[in-house]
Structure 1
Amino acid sequence: MLNIPLWKRVVIWGLCAMGLVLAMPNAFYTRVEGHNDAVKAIEAGGETPELAAMKAAWPDWLPSGLVNLGLDLRGGAHLLAEVQVEDVYADRIDGLWPEVRDALREERAAVGTIRRQASAPDELRVRLSQPEGMAAAVEAVRGLARPIVTLTGVGSSDIEVRAEGDELIVTLSEAERLATDDRTIQQSLEIVRRRVDEVGTREPTIQRQGENRILIQVPGIGSAEELKALIGTTARLTFHPVVGRTTDPDQSPGARNVLYPAMDQEGVYYILEQTPVVTGEELTDAQPAFDQNGRPAVNFRFNPAGARKFGTYTAENVGSPFAIVLDEEVISAPVINEAIPGGSGIITGSFSVQESTDLAVLLRAGALPAELTFLEERTIGPELGADSIEAGKIACVVAFAAVLIFMALSYGWFGVIANVALVINVGLIFGLLSLIGGTLTLPGIAGIVLTIGMAVDANVLIFERIREELKSAKGPARAIDLGYEKALSAILDANITTFITAVILFMLGSGPVRGFAITLGLGILTSVFTAIYVTRLMIVVWLDRRRPKTITV
């Protein structure tokens, strides 16, 4: 047992050295962070003398992975948003109208003329001039139903069709509403994540909370208002035919029309057709640019389907105005001078450079499918984060010092060996966190402090077993061998059950709970490794050199 082969010794010391080297950049956090930011900036936009100096502050051949600091340590913004999923029902119903209209026109002989009626946002009402053909109309519209492809909606269709007098009514089925809710939340999560990632923030926490809420925590951002400005805009871009202009905000736009204000012309309103020709969902790219007069603008490009619709419409309506609408405000309404077959164009308006850049970010990330209502918002300043870091440092130092003193006084030379292994253990934790890009939070620091205590538990079990074996008049080598052998099962049992708990906390927890689970889980792995392998190797090396006749633990 105490004859450790050379290859095992090389592997053990190699893993320790690798972990400590990976952890080393955290001792020079500011310098390495500046180096990493400079590398990203150079890759994105070219090298400048300032960026070159920041990059040179840390050698490229050394590891540059850092433990990311969480919101409670770095400061930043916290938002809890509720997704208004009901908004999507109206868009979904409105999107059904062209299909329903075409299906009923094919049954014109039976149903006569059709006209869409005013209704609740989540239902579509169509009046038939020949109610006696209602059965054929219902059958035709039911043919548009599609099956629901979710586990809970198996066997259900997406719409329900019924008759009420001379009106045909189409609504979304309950299974489709549930599926739509889930899709809306998932899409909102992805788009919020894209928008936050676009501005290069580090390790944001963006996750679903409850049925229709999203938790957003972004370390390093200036304020909650800044974060809301980035993600709170729906950024729904649409292109509408222009019916007319007015200065009367109370003017009725007419059936199937809408009245939207002009963004840069106070008191001016546009009457537009309600159904857009093209939507922002068909955009593939948007970049900040400058127009021919040198004013900030945004270039955009459609996908093939959007380009085809955009090209066809502009070819058929040369000389007519065409409104570009963002979140129910008309950005501009240029006249179509010629057909635009390429599917690309430019959005101009009263933008600043920053506004055109922000708009391009929002359009690239995509439109939120529904409005976000912010229920909770907090700005955590960097001073609070600095206080948390300082408090965490004090807690770690006090715990560490107390454990080191206790082990040295209780077990003498063996305690010193355990202390060296404990220092290596903490270094390995930070090395692993740097390797996986983990985020350290205040609960994560608590996990490290707990790990320090648990690492000592394993050494205490081993040393106490060695003491018992020494009382049986066994030699030092045999006592150490049996001590490790008999303590192994207790060490593994205790750590495996705790590791299972850490895994469950990580899978079911969120935010701070996950931060605690990550450091606890990694700490258990490193504690077992240092207690079973590192301390034993150090003791074996000591025995080989000193060859004592007796030992005292």
Structure 2
Amino acid sequence: MNKKSRLITIIAVLAVCFAFLWPTISWYARTPKEDQALALSTLENIKDYSNFKAASDVKAMVAAAKADPETLVPADQEWFKEQVKKNYKLENKKYSEPLKLVDALNSFASKTELVNFVEGVYRKKILKNKDFYKNSVKLGLDLSGGMNVIVKADLDAVIANQGDTPYVEETLKAEAMAQAVETLSNRIDRFGLSSPTIRQQGEDRIYIELPGSAEADQINSIIQGRGILNFRLVDNEATQAFTTYYYNHMDSTFDSKGRLIDASVIPEDCVVMGYYTTDAYGLDQREGYLVVKKEVALDGKHIESAEVGAEDLTGKPQVNFVLDSEGSEIFGEFTGKHVGENLCIVSDDKVKSNARIQTAITGGRVAITGFGIQEAQNLRKVLQTAWLDVPLSVESQQVIGASLGDQAIKQGLLAIAVGLIAIMVFMLIWYQGAGVNACVAQVLNLYIMFSILSALNLTVTLPMIAGMILTIGMAVDANVIIFERIKEERRLGKDRASSMNTGFNNAFWAIMDSNITTFIAAIFMSQLGTGSVQGFAYSLAIGVVSTLFTTLFVSRLMFDFQTEVVGKKNISIGWGIK
């Protein structure tokens, strides 16, 4: 590869690395702590916060415009001005400058449209920060503090509970574990624990990693608690009245924890619950609110099985579930009394389905229709929570304090800094001018490593920091091999250009052999190892790739630039060598 191509390659790689590293820079250096805390909360909390802030802001705007019609739109609300200008342009109307707040409010068709717009601004900002976090280099539990838990699922109990029901054991176990993972994810997300890692480990264990501070008792209650699934009657008249009330009092209906402030707006025997559908990503998305009876019509424990089928005439998806004998009697009697009313399925205090009772449902076989295949699959999973009862127990639990994490971060960064500085000082003293090339290559080496970690969304742990420190030593070792070969050529009386070409060419395979063998070892460790061993292997493998690039591309280009552009004849590469 010629020098021009090498320069273009280096610039392109550094630019791509900066793009990879930008989320990490944005998250840790440009996002305030309070915005980080908000972005790390659950999507439901983010939506509630955005709704609350939007309603509050709109209420304050309306109050300010009524108090003084001459009030101007604040200068720091350019985002609001831009939307107002678009509204006037769509209506082919003109507005006066400076823009008055009352004119800005009147540019929106309704108060709801204004609230939705302001909510979108908050949502976009918070989700943008959340994306920065998702694509940034994250700190492991040994650095950030937190808790890791290994939960054991009693699959033997699941099989025993099936009784004489026909099933394929392996399929049942797989469904039970998938349901257990999903149930834990929903519970932990509901309690607002930030950025959890939840995955199946082996046949019957679930690994949970919770960064940040967490109460052990709270986690245990979440893990071992059972999801509550039941059927309740919907009060349509109360729902309609509450919906009207909510849209007129969006900022004062619920408190910060989602509790109803004025309980008198609904009947005493009812409760307000969010009505949720599942989006394409499998996340609960609240569509609105329903007022449902506190009395449970049918408990989910009576469900024996659930599956997705199709209607006989239309072929549209439907969810079929079977009740036990007691449940069949209860459900038949209840539906017979409430024909024409709406019955909802409640799971973990969320309404997951709302269907009209067309006729009395007897015989214990129930079919629910009126949705697409994806919604049908999601509802089946909800119903499985009741009949796939998977007993969970905490097998091991490790809590790491935040203070220990802070100390580990400082020690890790200090180790990297001391190691890097010590090597740079040695290279500058022993190899003089050529040592500068090695120092630049070392800095770029760490820069490329962190950018790749960010691109792969890997989590930085203490073993990974150990791999980075080892990489620093390996990188300088490659430079030492090259510099010593160049020195040998200079002692033979060759000129600068010939010495460098021969030195790099002769050192190439020695460097490649050592790094390739290290890379192979790192690959095997990453595949066969677990936990900290994998983290060390990942950083080591990434370090090998970045070392080869900075040594064979960056350092070589710097030597060539000094030779061909600056016009140097001698080479400062050691004591007594010119």
TM superposition score normalised by structure 2: 0.59
Q: Are 1:509 and 2:529 an aligned pair?
A: yes
CA distance in 1, matches of 2:295, 2:449: 52
CA contact (8 A) 2:145 2:212 kept: yes
Q: Which residue of 2 aligns with 1:338?
A: 338
Q: 1:358 to 1:87 in 2, by over 3 A?
A: farther
Q: Deviations over 1:38-60 (max 9, x none)?
A: 59789845474799689779999
CA distance in 2, matches of 1:285, 1:314: 28
From 55, 68, 71, the counterpart of 2:141:
71
Q: Percent identity?
A: 30
For residue 18 of structure 1, report the CA deviation from its aligned partner: 2.9
CA contact (8 A) 2:194 2:210 kept: yes
Q: Which residue of 2 aligns with 1:232?
A: 224
Q: Which residue of 2 aligns with 1:446?
A: 466
From 212, 226, 229, the counterpart of 1:220:
212
CA distance in 2, matches of 1:465, 1:70: 41
Q: Which residue of 2 aligns with 1:15?
A: 13
CA distance in 1, matches of 2:448, 2:208: 30
CA distance in 2, matches of 1:180, 1:293: 34
For residue 469 of structure 1, report the CA deviation from its aligned partner: 1.6
Q: Which residue of 1 aligns with 2:108?
A: none
CA distance in 2, matches of 1:406, 1:320: 87
Q: Which residue of 2 aligns with 1:468?
A: 488
For residue 24 of structure 1, report the CA deviation from its aligned partner: 4.8
For residue 532 of structure 1, report the CA deviation from its aligned partner: 0.7
Map 1:15-414; keep pairs closer than 5 Å: 15-27=13-25, 29=28, 31-32=30-31, 38=39, 44=47, 46=50, 48=53, 65-96=135-166, 176=169, 181=173, 184-185=176-177, 188-189=180-181, 191-193=183-185, 196=188, 199=192, 201-202=194-195, 204=197, 206-209=199-202, 212-220=204-212, 222-235=214-227, 237=229, 289=289, 291=291, 305-306=318-319, 320=333, 337-339=337-339, 345=344, 347=346, 356=349, 367=385, 369-414=389-434
Match for 1:445: what amino acid?
I
For residue 202 of structure 1, report the CA deviation from its aligned partner: 2.6
CA contact (8 A) 1:26 1:66 kept: yes
Q: 1:16 to 1:371 in 2, by over 3 A?
A: same
From 529, 546, 551, the counterpart of 2:566:
546
CA contact (8 A) 1:388 1:442 kept: yes
CA distance in 1, matches of 2:176, 2:486: 61
What are the ranges of 5 or more consecutive residues in structure 1 without an aligned counterpart? 97-145, 147-157, 159-175, 241-282, 322-334, 349-354
CA contact (8 A) 2:47 2:123 kept: no
What are the ranges of 5 or more consecutive residues in structure 2 without an aligned counterpart? 58-118, 233-281, 301-305, 309-316, 354-377, 574-578
For residue 441 of structure 1, report the CA deviation from its aligned partner: 1.1
SS at match of 2:214: coil
For residue 23 of structure 1, report the CA deviation from its aligned partner: 2.6
For residue 86 of structure 1, report the CA deviation from its aligned partner: 0.9
Match for 1:531: what amino acid?
T
Aligned length: 408
CA contact (8 A) 1:31 1:58 kept: no
CA contact (8 A) 1:425 1:526 kept: yes
Q: Deviations over 1:440-494 (max 9, x none)?
A: 1111111111111111111111111111121221111111111111111111111
Q: Which residue of 2 aligns with 1:459?
A: 479
Q: Which has the higher helix share?
A: 2
Q: 1:536 to 1:365 in 2, by over 3 A?
A: farther
CA contact (8 A) 1:314 1:340 kept: no
CA distance in 1, matches of 2:440, 2:210: 37
For residue 291 of structure 1, report the CA deviation from its aligned partner: 2.3
CA contact (8 A) 1:195 1:365 kept: no
Q: Which residue of 1 aligns with 2:502?
A: 482
For residue 384 of structure 1, report the CA deviation from its aligned partner: 1.8
CA contact (8 A) 1:82 1:212 kept: yes
Match for 2:225: what amino acid?
T
CA distance in 1, matches of 2:408, 2:444: 24
Q: 1:92 to 1:357 in 2, by over 3 A?
A: closer
Of residues 49-58 and 25-34 in structure 1, the stretch that sits farther from structure 2 once superposed is 49-58
Q: 1:75 to 1:358 in 2, by over 3 A?
A: farther
CA contact (8 A) 2:231 2:346 kept: no
CA distance in 1, matches of 2:184, 2:140: 19
CA contact (8 A) 1:71 1:441 kept: yes
Q: Which residue of 1 aligns with 2:455?
A: 435
SS at match of 2:520: helix
Of residues 528-537 and 511-520 in structure 1, the stretch that sits farther from structure 2 once superposed is 511-520
TM superposition score normalised by structure 1: 0.62
SS at match of 2:195: coil
What is the alpha-carbon root mean square deviation over aligned residues?
4.6
Q: 1:24 to 1:181 in 2, by over 3 A?
A: closer
SS at match of 1:214: strand
